[in-house]
Amino acid sequence: MDHIYIGGVKIEKTAALAPMASVADRAYRLMAKEFGAAYCVGEMASAKGLCYNDKKTAELLAVTDKERPMSIQLFGSESEFIAKAVRIAEQFRPDIIDLNAGCPMPKIVNNGSGCALMKNAVNFGEIVKAAVSSTDIPVTVKIRSGWDECSINAVEIAKIAELNGAAAVCVHPRTKTQLYSGKADWSIIKAVKDAVKIPVIGSGDVTSVDDCIEMYRQTGCDLVMIGRGSYGRPWLFGQIKDYFEGKIPRTEPSLEEKIEIMRRHIYLLTEDKGERTGMKEARRQAAWYVRGIKGAAKLRDEFSKMNTTDDFEKMLKMISEVNEK
């Protein structure tokens, strides 16, 4: 098994779990880790919110030993708040701190954060420098190709990140205006890899073992990161890990196995967030697990009405009954 190092953090060169707001929570991360994810990044948290002692922001940064190696992710547009937030974040003992310069969502970019940072190279550099100088924990940066097709500047931004002390850069090769549409341009990842000496993490359109292998081959990246490709499929990390351990990748789980995996995931959610909140968030997670099975559309509709674990257990029984016919 090959490994990479981000700062002094050793990470298996298989596949990592991408940060996904309101998706990759602790339950999701634990499922990914149990199946073999090499590394996890938590949900992005506001640097300013952390500085102002916002309880919900702090909850996003909790790290458990089962999730390691793990990074916490901060977003913000002001270097003074980033510096202070990084110092506060040290108390959560993350292995790595990631700065978000890639989120394309309006509520983030409209405040000058996320991918908007790629429009202001000077401010971006100051933010990276402020974070790096405030901690001994490795600092990484998540970026996109650029703001739009007329401003592809991932290479320039990656060089600035490296110059200011970033330990690695993760590239999602879509522009802000693309959001998650179209095809990820892996050539951007390769261009960044060719331009910097720090590790480069590639992300975008990896949904299978073959995709993972091909991203490594085409881009030369140091680590592959998977986001939406893992929706309802935490075993993908296990399949990829099998391949890089020289084994025949495990097959897709049977329906019965999927039901047990889903049950494990949903109960982790309710254990962490309580039944009321956990089951509300479980509706989307459960819907992803049933994609492609018989009666999926009706099942997704029923999942959207779940409120209790009893409701969930009835749904699992329904899945088995529908697929036995």
**Which helix (H) or strand (E) segment is 129 a member of?**
helix 121-133
Q: Specify which residues 143 forms β-bridges with.
A: 101, 171
Query: Catalytic site residue 170?
Result: no
Per the CB < 8 A criterion, the answer to whether 141 and 166 are in contact is: yes
Peptide bond into 69 cis (omega under 30): yes
Nearest alpha carbon to residue 228 among 316, 291, 166 = 291
Coil, helix or strand for 224? strand
Distance, in Å, from the CA atom of 270 to the CA atom of 268, rounded to the nearest integer, reads 6
Q: What is the dihedral of CA 83, 84, 88, 94, to 10 degrees?
A: -10
40, 103, 212, 221: the catalytic one is 103
> CA distances (Å), 76 to each of 36, 117, 122, 267, 320, in order?
31, 9, 15, 33, 46
Distance of CA 43 to the CA centre of its chain: 7
- Cβ neighbours for 57, distance < 8 A, ≥ 6 positions apart: 45, 46, 49, 50
Residue positions annotated with a catalytic role: 103
